Amino acid sequence: MAHTDTDEPTRRDFLYVATGAFAAVGGAAAIWPLIDQMNPDASMLALATVEVDISAIEVGQSITVMWQGKPVFIRRRTEEEIEMAKAVPVDILPDPIARNENITGEVPATDENRAAEGKEEWLVMVGICTHLGCIPKGQKVGDAQGDFGGWFCPCHGSHYDTAGRIRKGPAPMNLAVPVYSFLSDDRIQLG
């Protein structure tokens, strides 16, 4: 009797299928570590967003928190500091762009475009000088620095105002405003 394609599978057919399946599973198991290593590790995922309790910050005080390996300044500004920032015409600023990642496009560096709407007393900025990456001074209570009452980078003499805008010195840009949101009146989420 001759064998045809309609005959039942043989032991050889089973071995071909089993060997192919075993090779596919083994190949996937060998490749998985290479694919998985491209995912961010747990420490980076933890830094993607950070919640900050701001309930203890008094008017006129600042704190510095670390986010994505960078210092972030969070300041609760006084009415005087807000008024000083609002009084500055944008056309006299060395960098007229807001540098606010919460707003799309290149908007003017007004105080309103540097703070969250309805929460103008809070100023949130990446605390890295835009000249050579130093950390400006001015975060301690009653320690406003520079010629404009904000922050001062002593390394090369960059002066920032009460809205974190460059006013004098070699820094080419305003301090960056990172992505952040208010989760409540007492909590901010960075990232």
Backbone torsions φ then ψ of 94, nearest 5 degrees: -60, -35
- Output b/e per residue, 7-40; b: 16+ Cβ within 10 A: eeeeeeeeeeeeeeeeeeeeeeeeeeeeeeeeee
Question: Which residues are catalytic, by number?
Answer: 156
CB atoms inside a 10 Å sphere around CB 134: 16
Residue 176's identity, in one-letter code, is A
Q: Are 130 and 151 in contact (CB under 8 A)?
A: no
Handedness of CA 172, 99, 178, 36 (dihedral sign): negative
Instruction: State whether residue 128 is helix, strand or coil.
Output: coil
CA torsion through residues 31, 33, 36, 37, sign: negative
Q: How far is CA 37 from CA 31, 41, 49, in A?
A: 10, 8, 21
- Calpha distance 56→35 (Å, rounded): 44
